[in-house]
Amino acid sequence: MRRDPAPTTREPKPTPTGGKITGLTPQRRDSERVNVAIDGEFSFGLGLDIVLRESLAVGDLLDTARVAALIAADERGKATTAGLSLLAYRSRSEREIRDRLKLKGFSLGAIDEAVSRLDGWGYLNDASFARAWVENRATHQPRGERLLAHELRQKGIASDVIAETLVEAGIDEAAAALELGRAKLRSYRGLEAPVARRRLGGFLTRRGFGYDVVGPVLDQLLTAAVDELDGGTGEDAEG
């Protein structure tokens, strides 16, 4: 699995002043970006799409306000590209995208525009994200609804979306807890039954199951495993 790119921060730069465009040259490392020279010196970079859309040409006079508008449009484009890059690693909630773009130093306006574009293209949908998150957890790391709800809240998902997602998922907490508990219980062989019960109860509780689920599961598993759990010498530590 690929790791997320590490967050980076950028210091805001002062807006260049206006003047005459004396050069429009492709950047050496990215042919989709153009270096703009004003009055003989490099001033700022722009996406090629903006240069073409704005019909910029050598000899054009730009005032400071137009320079600022061009740079702002470029920032919106870069924020959108950064958002797409983040989504290429895995699906994300809207708040995650906003938080990551903020860490990268983009302005609020650029972030708002990027999120709007990504949402319009169908790349951002908190309900779909929540469903995918719950399905992934159910398949690879089963847990109770309480922990799932907590994780989704941490991702910025709204409470009503969380509630609807969990209802739609139809999670059988008893079955999930029983499966997890049965697998974990094997590591407690040799422990006294009360110690094994306490450890297993703590394990299932940390996985987000309430005692209304944990209690019956412990009764079922410990009763069935009583012959395997003897008066061993395992230390009474949380497992």
Predicted confidence (pLDDT) per residue in 203-219, tens digit: 999 999 999 999 999 99
Q: Which domain holds residue 65?
A: 19-120
- Residue 11 within any structural domain of the chain: no
DSSP state of 39: T
Q: Do residues 38 and 115 share a domain?
A: yes
For 17-42, the pLDDT digits (tens) are 889 999 999 999 888 899 999 999 99
For 64-108, the pLDDT digits (tens) are 999 999 999 999 999 999 999 999 888 899 999 999 999 999 999
Which one-letter amino acid corresponds to residue 185? L
Q: Do residues 208 and 184 share a domain?
A: yes
The answer to whether 188 and 239 are in contact (CB under 8 A) is yes
Q: Do residues 82 and 98 share a domain?
A: yes
Residue at which a domain ends, from 105, 136, 169: 169
pLDDT attached to residue 193: 86
pLDDT attached to residue 58: 95
Longest dimension (CA), the chain: 90
Q: Do residues 23 and 115 share a domain?
A: yes
What CATH number is given to the structural domain containing 159?
1.10.10
- Choice among 99-113, 125-139, 144-158, 225-239 with the minimum mean pLDDT: 225-239
- Residue 220 within any structural domain of the chain: yes
Q: Do residues 142 and 95 share a domain?
A: no
The alpha carbons of the chain give a radius of gyration, in whole angstroms, of 28
CA distance 195 to 202: 11
Q: Do residues 52 and 140 share a domain?
A: no
pLDDT attached to residue 3: 53
pTM of this prediction exceeds 0.75? no
Q: Do residues 116 and 202 share a domain?
A: no
Query: How many domains, in total, are found in the chain?
Result: 3
Q: Do residues 138 and 54 share a domain?
A: no
